[in-house]
Chain A
Amino acid sequence: MITSPAPSQTAPARQWFLARQDLDELIQAIRATGRRVIGPTIRESAIVYDEIQTAADLPAGWRDEQSAGRYRLERRSDDQVFGYTVGPTSWKRFTFPPNLTIATAHRTSFGFEQQVAEAPPVAFLGVRACEIAALAIQDRVFLGSQFTDEDYRARRAAAFIVAVQCTTSSSTCFCTSMGTGPEVRDGYDIMLTEIEDGFVIQAGSPGGAAIVAKLPTRRPSHAEAGAAVDNVESVRTQMGEPLPMAGIGERLKLQLDHPRWIQVADRCVECGNCTMACPTCFCTSVVERSDLDGKTSSTERQWDSCFDVAFAKVAGGDFRARPRDRYRQWLTHKFSTWWDQFESSGCVGCGRCIAWCPVRIDVREELAAIAPPIPPVVHPVAVTPVAASPGTYSVARLGSVRAETEDTTTLSLTDLDPAFLSGRPGQFVMVALPAFPGVPISISRFRADHIDLTIRAVGPTSTALVNLHPGAKVGLRGPLGTFWPIEEAYGRHAVVVAGGVGLSPLHGLVDALVANHERFESVSLFYGSRTPEDQLFRDDLAAWSASKAIDVAVTVDRAGPEWKGRVGVVTTLFDMISWDCSKVTAFVVGPERMMQSSVQGLISKGVPADRICVSMERHMECGIGLCGHCQMAGRFVCKDGPVFRLDELGDMFNREGI
């Protein structure tokens, strides 16, 4: 694989100063080696790369004004030669031509004549940092596997690179976000940095050093060297805070069904400008062209675009028949699957696709809308868990047993490590008995000298637990997991929505909300159960209902005639909400489908997604993220949860198969 020209081996590279009026000396020195010089020129009101003969052909004194769907050239107030960014063309058209004859065939001899790559020596003058990154990406694409493009290899090897560091940026530039600029680090033969009356120049290869040696240079002054650094650094400042691109590949993979794909596809006119202007897009088609007598034909490779309506068509159908499919393919390839294929991003942040989109689609906005950064999971550990490692247990004694319903029992555990008493509502413990596997149980209540575990008998361990008698010993590990962020509800309407046994992990939270009710605008509990007989904590429900500190509304799915209360699913209770829901913080637990309906109901009323917390349940065997069972879209429910903010889960909440 050909790599970019090796950087100078002397570190730091020696720098020289070349006066602006001597720039043509550089061009002529390069031409004298037999190379054509390709550089920026003005054609049809844009700066495009074309052959130049002298420095006078360069667009000195011009700048570009770029934004989404807009490109204009304007006069500068000085004579800077490279005071603009990138135009519609990239070096790709010289290393990977838009049209290339790759073979000819002659019917008379029935042979196929492969075209030999012709790559006359050429110099690229004015290659920006992002463009050097683009060349490196194309090196990986065309030369990085067992199948190579020899035409590209030849053209790439024949190219002498004169890099120019950017001293300005456009609003469409985002190289700092992609890690590709503004500084040029390597991949050049000669590098120029423009300052007030000339260039700080340095060589990056023996060939570059040979050229520089022929130029009328001198050593730069300290001020001149400093100005070169400052001019480039100022570009970084101009571009502002980099976009949050960390993990964008994985984030996009999680959003393949995002509704924004349809919205952006509705705007996109599928002109393919973005793929044509992009310095790394490489899709092509092959066409056969024949002369009129059909005796000689040529095979031509030409640039194609995944936006083309027939790009993914086969005889049996079209794999990407819808515009949304094609737009999604382009964006996810560029920012996500390119990593899987070539171990790098496909984007260098040059911004061409933004400037040259006729409908002003800005990929940065689309990425922010479709795959925003996943908020970091905060692991506020209230207390260090006891006996965290599987196989170790701290022993507690069963103080009392209380039947809540036919199949649900509350065990009060006492004589236990004080760490368990310092846990927080929402956390759980791993509970075990000898000869029974450990199971995760939410701590339903924290008291001064004991904790309550409310257990539904659904398996061997839970059944054994609910059949224990006071005085029995149980093994505990914990407290584990995240807890309800009660502080986030201060000053707001705290709404607790519980379904069935989901009230268990919320019990401690309701206790805390009631005890500190003056810190909240209001406190409400909406609780649904299957039947009145399935309600948990009936004494507490009655006490809370009688309390002025909390409004309690309960409903059941079905009841006999003796029940005079509400009958209907818990979401019907949301009709009672009369406050400004933008000021609600909600805590929701129940069967996942019930949580999803509740969350939908709350959001439709105006509760923000980042103000809704849920508690997730998954199979756990270790409780500390080592057994792998409880993974849910990259998160461990045991240690990143079980309490999650809804926006942390995003599209993964209630998604099938996650």
Chain B
Amino acid sequence: MDDYAAVLAMLNHTWFGAELSPETQERLAKLGEVQDFEADEVILHEGDDAKEMGILISGRLALRTLVPERGPVTILSVEQGDIFGWSAVLADTQAQSTVVATQPSRALVIEGTKLRAALKEDHALAASLYPRVLKAVARRLRATRLQLLDLFAR
């Protein structure tokens, strides 16, 4: 499973990873670890320290937030190729939502401290990765704004 070439191939197959430079893909593959999650497994709790960033290779994750009167509400699903836990790129941040696998899923998970240290030391890695993370966040923000408009409301 941790076969290096297989990890690189998986990474290259994702939206997030495909346009990273080969050097960045290699670095991420070495920094990270492929993890499998079962359906309904909680990967991260809202409010926890943001310890890990993940790139979803297969499956689906739900990002949920708790609304006391309504219970957990799924505000977004993370599909194959997208990232979760991007807050781990920044130090001393908390997870913005609870991340749950809604079906058996596989992700390349990168530990936050190692990732931040690598970004600090390797400027080429930073120059390649930060824009991609920013783009992923921007996509999410655009989509969130549309959700906010509640266009289908009566």
Contact = CB atoms under 8 A, between A and B. Distances in A.
Interface of A: 407, 456, 458, 499-501, 528-530, 534, 555, 557-561, 563-569, 571-572, 575, 590-591, 593-594, 597
A575 B79 contact: yes
Interface string B111-134: 000000000000000000000000
A567 B143 contact: no
- Residue with the greatest number of chain B CB neighbours at <10 A, chosen from A407, A559, A568, A591: A568
Interface of B: 15, 60, 62-64, 70-77, 79, 81-82, 100, 102-103, 139, 143, 146-147, 149-154
26 contacts: A407-B154, A456-B154, A458-B154, A500-B152, A530-B150, A557-B147, A558-B73, A560-B74, A561-B62, A561-B71, A563-B62, A564-B62, A565-B77, A565-B102, A566-B79, A567-B63, A567-B74, A567-B75, A567-B76, A568-B143, A568-B147, A571-B143, A572-B79, A593-B151, A594-B146, A594-B151
A499 B75 CA distance: 17
B152 A563 contact: no
B92 to A, nearest CB: 28
A566 B60 contact: yes
Main secondary structure of the interface of A (DSSP, over half): mixed
Nearest to A406: B154
Contact of B151 (A456, A500, A560, A568): A500
A557 B145 CA distance: 11
Given A559-B74, A561-B71, A564-B102, A529 B152 contact: yes
Contacts of A566: 60, 77, 79
B49 to A, nearest CB: 24
Contact of A572 (B62, B71, B100, B143): B143
Given A560-B71, A561-B74, A564-B60, A569 B152 contact: no
Given A558-B73, A571-B146, A534 B151 contact: no
Contact of B103 (A561, A564, A591): A564
Contacts of B139: 572
Contact of A569 (B82, B100, B147): B147
B151 A590 contact: yes
Given A561-B71, A563-B74, A575-B15, A593 B147 contact: no
B45 to A, nearest CB: 14
A581 B45 CA distance: 39
Given A500-B152, A568-B147, A593-B149, A560 B103 contact: no
A415 B100 CA distance: 52
Nearest to B103: A564
A591 B15 CA distance: 28
B60 A597 contact: no
A636 B77 CA distance: 40
B72 A561 contact: yes
A559 B73 contact: yes
B23 to A, nearest CB: 25
B152 A568 contact: no
Contacts of A534: 152
A500 B150 CA distance: 11
B110 to A, nearest CB: 22
Given A500-B152, A530-B153, A561-B64, A567 B77 contact: yes
Contacts of B77: 555, 565-568
A530 B152 contact: yes
A561 B146 CA distance: 21
A548 to B, nearest CB: 22
Contacts of B79: 566, 572, 575
Nearest to B62: A567
A530 B82 CA distance: 22
Contacts of A560: 70-74
B143 A558 contact: no
Nearest to A594: B151
A564 B143 CA distance: 19
Contacts of A564: 60, 62, 102-103
A558 B79 CA distance: 15
A651 B15 CA distance: 32
Nearest to A556: B74
B76 A568 contact: yes
Contacts of A567: 62-63, 74-77
Contacts of A571: 143, 146
Contacts of B152: 499-501, 528-530, 534, 557, 590-591, 594
Contacts of A575: 15, 79, 81-82
A500 B139 CA distance: 22
B154 A593 contact: no
A567 B152 CA distance: 14
Q: 6 tightest A-B contacts by CB?
A: A530-B152, A500-B152, A591-B151, A564-B102, A567-B77, A569-B146
Contacts of B100: 561
Contacts of A559: 73-74
